[in-house]
Chains A and B, each alone.
Chain A
């Protein structure tokens, strides 16, 4: 379980995260929802130790983030993090060199699923294919947890469909997924838990199926209640 307890983060005088507390379980898809600037990306970066936070605690299966832990958790940012001159196969080699949990077979399987070629250079990928390669690099890790930052941002409808298919496939089965998005409609039916954020704080946290069954509301209905009063 990834557990955030009372996380606070400031940039100068501005509070970016204000006492963020929530948990994300293994085997569940947890979606952080909020408009731009709500603190979604900062939360993921804080979990991965990519940005400092001033207060609170983050644990992964009860432990703080350590180099060893980075075999267990993988982050898929919304920006390309591979060198432009690399080919996809060079990126595979890089991952294979550094991660024990890199699954080359799975990487090739996902490559085929996305209809990409190993020889393609990172610098020549379209925005949609960049998002797919980003996703691929994360999914091919035998990690227990996957953090995804806006995987649908700025890509065409066919790429969105392909990426959305991943969420219902064996590629995320049994793993804990935290995904951020402000475009919930693509994955509303796939997520298990929603965490609604505004101004760096958690406004509401709920299990989607429970709300659907007990209150007859969709995630979007709850969002309307929370954000529009």
Chain B
């Protein structure tokens, strides 16, 4: 267990420089979005209220209160989230391939560590999950700071400040990533984790069987996809017999079974089939 912790720490530190750059990019782009919005609204207030003499109440009736909630779906807010998500997705592939294809073949060292090889699999998976949860936690922590920027520019009379929960509810991506119900959280991240596990297994199939493995991995991936969506195929056959929630639970159960099978298979590949 101690060695597993060290492995996770090692994997985490390898991606840390890129991760820090990602976090900085998220803050800078979102701060730029807030500044742009705040100055635009402020100039509107100056123009309408100060120069044209429109009463404050009238302005608020026409334009509504200024709130960070108004810009949480804007391009500059969603772009860094998309960039971060894409980067982490690429890293899911890169986290294995860099050990084989880098300048030095570090996979030798990893496979020769005195730990069960499946721990390498789980340490990489844990690192990915830490990156994802870290990014979400960071986004939540950054929101109040961004609201402070808005507070510094827009007068209190024109502003509607949101609580953290209010900000999360107004932010489409966060609403999905941090659902209100715990069960939704388990389902969302359960599917996400199953996806990463299946992808890892596909990579290990390719790394074990090389050229032939490419086709085997694609076949495995397509098979997994068909199985996950099989409840919906069944639903068509039985002409809408099941409720939506029942279909979701069936999918979830299939994802859990597929994950278990993938871990078992990956363990076999790492111990018996993998090559440097």
- Show the binding face of A for B, using Cβ within 8 Å: 45, 48-52, 67-71, 74-75, 77, 79-84, 94, 97-100, 122-123
Contacts and interface: CB of A to CB of B under 8 A. Distances in A.
Contact of B103 (A68, A84, A100): A84
A69 B108 CA distance: 16
B275 interface: yes
A45 B111 CA distance: 11
Given A45-B276, A50-B276, A98-B6, A67 B114 contact: yes
Contact of B109 (A45, A81, A84): A81
A82 B103 CA distance: 10
Interface residues of B, number: 25
Contacts of A79: 104-105, 108
Describe A's contact surface by its main secondary structure.
loop
Nearest to B104: A80
Contacts of A67: 113-117
B175 interface: no
Interface string B259-276: 000000000000111111
B112 interface: yes
Contacts of B108: 50, 75, 77, 79, 81
A98 B274 CA distance: 21
Nearest to A84: B103
Given A49-B111, A82-B106, 19 more contacts: A45-B275, A45-B276, A48-B112, A51-B275, A52-B208, A52-B272, A52-B275, A67-B114, A67-B115, A68-B114, A70-B114, A74-B112, A75-B108, A77-B105, A81-B109, A83-B106, A84-B104, A94-B109, A123-B103
Contacts of A123: 103
A99 B3 CA distance: 9
B110 to A, nearest CB: 9
B102 A84 contact: yes
B276 A122 contact: no
A51 B275 CA distance: 4
The 9 closest A-B pairs by CB, nearest first: A81-B108, A70-B114, A80-B104, A51-B275, A81-B109, A50-B276, A67-B114, A84-B103, A71-B114
Given A49-B271, A50-B276, A70 B106 contact: no
B119 to A, nearest CB: 9
Contacts of B273: 52
User: Counting chain A CB atoms within 10 Å of each CB, which of B14, B111, B117, B208 scores highest?
Assistant: B111
Nearest to A65: B271
A98 B115 CA distance: 9
A98 B105 contact: no
Contacts of A99: 114
Nearest to B208: A52
User: Counting chain B CB atoms within 10 Å of each CB, which of A50, A68, A81 scores highest?
Assistant: A81
Nearest to B269: A52
